[in-house]
Structure 1
């Protein structure tokens, strides 16, 4: 399957169902954001940019068990500290464009969709089967062949191939029993590698525990990679505390498991987290959040990273304020220090966001 088939399927839906009716009975959502960030480096050139982002999403009414989903985002810069700090190559992208077919205890997605899986994060061009064999289990079978980045705080990245023309095949099985939820997954990147792993989540009242293990079996001359993460959390309103540990393979790091762009977005617990995923990296981190009220919260992250006989430390501070259900603002301050002197930096990031 390729992008032309996706376009053909969506076009057939629009022509089979009058466009005006489909749009009138569908739902629209959107957002507007202004984002600014500035890095001050101790032994390298500073960088920074300011940008705005507009996102629009449409979901049609389900007709004959078929639903159309569309999503568009446009980003552009209004400030750049130095030329090249913001890649303005792509200013707009159709990030979501899929048809979802609904059956009895299953659905099939064809087209572009955002995914948040263990090693797949961001917008994918895909074919996906999602089904519930039983009330407490869920099975996903996915083939993705291109991916993109489309968020409100970074330059857009157009869809590009994953693993050449071969793409990536994924099987994920999730099961839940009481307060325990487990997941096993297998990824196949033809002629490149196979990845497999498991995630276990345990929730007991105010406490939770998560354990993740992933390993790659490389089909080339690269060394195999692995990832281990254990994390515990405790919440007692109005505060919460999280402690965690991450370790990568001594010889291969993550190896080919970094194939999918944005992998770090949902695997990195720190704002920067440089070197967390390098060979023989060991990271200890902590995070604490204080919810002052329904509008204001403060969060602090601490991280210590040991990698290849070197070390790094990071501290992040966040303030989030919700003016109302639609309008919010956030501020991030972070400091990163490392045995690699060109990494040493302080940064400020701020964003206002309006949803409609």
Structure 2
């Protein structure tokens, strides 16, 4: 009898581990967003006047995008299908596929990812639900959006992480047109990240730092700085993202950014200083209302004023609504 009971217990434990090992997990989440934007110092007509950054550039009531993410996991393997619809998604990706990849958790400390995934460089992301400011920065808009290839993520310790990857040309995500490749790396320490990308046939070389720290329980400061060069053409700049929580539902944040283009063929390279003040009000954890005031000032007359005269600066206001679901 003792042997029978022991054998039964062993069988139950074994079946339990087998069931746990083959457990299937499916998650479905995403977001939708829309906004209203108006220029305060320039016309709001068919000839859109806006900063030369990605998204949120049209006047009046406008659509952002619908973002639908499906994640399936079984044991150590899984797959993600991230689909986007709407103007913001179309501008960020040539198809409705924002991300599509499979992953394999080889161990607790090592993960392989194969497919298309959003870039590891920069502070901001494509989906507005992942950003504090609704409009995007010059650094984000001039850097890569996505990569298609293979990457390996390593957890080196409680604080250190490392990513190594090989990809198609930057933002060439559906196929490889000429047999050239890019390589990338990311070294992380305590939520501070140093990112490197070399793409001789596309973007060239870019080094990027992304991080931040909590100054207090209510006050956070995000940081982004980058330098890019492609045969004498490129950019560099830096941005600070101070954010202060006034309550559990309302946070006030500022993005101050300096952005400089560089070219061997231009005598005076353009630079821009932009300040964006954003409020973020959360309703029942899912709906976020973001009023935003943005001031852009260039070293040249890159905008026009209400009299249609060239001017160095532009002021604009928008309010966005973002709904997250899961």
TM-score by length of 2: 0.61
Structure 2 matches for 1:76-155, cutoff 5 A? 93=97, 95-118=99-122, 123-145=146-168
Taking a change above 3 Å as real, the CA distance of residues 32 and 211 of structure 1, as seen in their structure-2 partners, is: closer
User: Of 277, 294, 309, which residue of structure 2 is paired with 1:303?
Assistant: 294
User: Of 316, 319, 324, which residue of structure 1 is paired with 2:318?
Assistant: 316
Taking a change above 3 Å as real, the CA distance of residues 142 and 239 of structure 1, as seen in their structure-2 partners, is: same
Q: Deviations over 1:228-287 (max 9, x none)?
A: 11221111214221122111125349xxxxxxxxxxxxxxxxxxxxxxxx9311111111
Question: Hey, what's the Cα distance between the residues in 1 that align with 2:74 and 2:176?
Answer: 31
Task: Name whichever structure is richer in strand by fraction.
Answer: 1
Question: Hey, what's the Cα distance between the residues in 2 that align with 1:283 and 1:51?
Answer: 22
Taking a change above 3 Å as real, the CA distance of residues 241 and 133 of structure 1, as seen in their structure-2 partners, is: same
Matched, 1:201 2:215: no
TM-score by length of 1: 0.56
Structure 2 stretches lacking a partner, 5+ long: 1-18, 39-43, 49-57, 123-139, 301-311
User: Of 174, 183, 202, which residue of structure 1 is paired with 2:188?
Assistant: 174
Question: Hey, what's the Cα distance between the residues in 2 that align with 1:295 and 1:121?
Answer: 29
Given that 1:26 and 1:58 are in contact with CA atoms closer than 8 Å, whether structure 2 keeps it comes out as no
Partner of 2:45: 42
Question: Hey, what's the Cα distance between the residues in 1 that align with 2:65 and 2:74?
Answer: 30
Given that 1:30 and 1:54 are in contact with CA atoms closer than 8 Å, whether structure 2 keeps it comes out as no
Partner of 2:239: 229
Question: Hey, what's the Cα distance between the residues in 2 that align with 1:52 and 1:232?
Answer: 26
Structure 2 matches for 1:259-298, cutoff 5 A? 279-291=270-282, 294=285, 297-298=288-289
Partner of 2:25: 27
- Higher Rg of the two aligned structures: 2
Question: Hey, what's the Cα distance between the residues in 2 that align with 1:307 and 1:297?
Answer: 31
Taking a change above 3 Å as real, the CA distance of residues 51 and 243 of structure 1, as seen in their structure-2 partners, is: closer
Given that 1:96 and 1:114 are in contact with CA atoms closer than 8 Å, whether structure 2 keeps it comes out as no
Q: Which structure is richer in relative contact order (CA contacts within 8 A, separation 6 or more)?
A: 2
Q: RMSD between aligned alpha carbons?
A: 4.2
